[in-house]
């Protein structure tokens, strides 16, 4: 397995040293893998994404009324607006 060097600020390093029981290389490895998966998911075409999610998901997607998706989108937007409008700024 190839190695990489990772730099962190001194304060982060001091905090990491307080937890020698944690395998920090594994934490970094998992974070990198998750981030790459997120990037790759954003690059997928909708057909590719549907094939990855499986036939059952595709059937459920087709059977769900559009109104249900519209309501879910509205709820998501409202929740995001509430979260952003209540986030303290510095």
Task: Let me know: does 24 contact 16? Beta carbons within 8 Å.
Answer: yes
| One domain, residues 59 and 90 | yes
Residue 48 resides in a domain: no
User: Which pLDDT tens digit goes with each residue over 1-50?
Assistant: 899 999 999 999 999 999 999 999 999 999 999 999 888 877 777 777 77
pLDDT value for 82: 86
Q: Does any domain span residue 24?
A: yes
SS3 sequence of the chain = CCCCCCCCCHHHHHHHHCCCCCCHHHHHHHHHHHHHHHHHHHHCCHHHHHHHHCHHHHHHHHHCCHHHHHHHHHHHHHHHHHHHHCCCCC
Residue 52 has a pLDDT of: 79
Please indicate, yes or no, if residue 15 is contained in any of the structural domains. Answer: yes
Please tell me the predicted confidence (pLDDT) of residue 45.
76
Instruction: Note down the domain range covering 64.
Output: 55-90
Does residue 2 belong to any structural domain of this protein?
Answer: no
Give the tokens for residue 83.
């979260």
pTM of the model: 0.47
Question: Total structural domains in the chain?
Answer: 2
What pLDDT, on a 0 to 100 scale, did the predictor assign at position 90? Answer: 56
């Amino acid at each position: 397995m190839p190695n990489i060097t990772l730099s962190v600020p001194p304060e982060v390093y001091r905090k990491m040293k307080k937890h020698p029981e944690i395998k920090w290389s594994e934490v970094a490895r998992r974070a990198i893998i998750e981030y790459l998966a997120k990037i790759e998911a954003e690059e997928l075409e909708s057909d590719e994404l549907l094939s990855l999610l499986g036939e059952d998901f595709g059937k459920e997607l087709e059977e769900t009324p559009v109104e249900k998706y519209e309501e879910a989108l509205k709820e998501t937007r409202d929740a995001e607006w509430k979260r952003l409008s209540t986030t303290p700024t510095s």
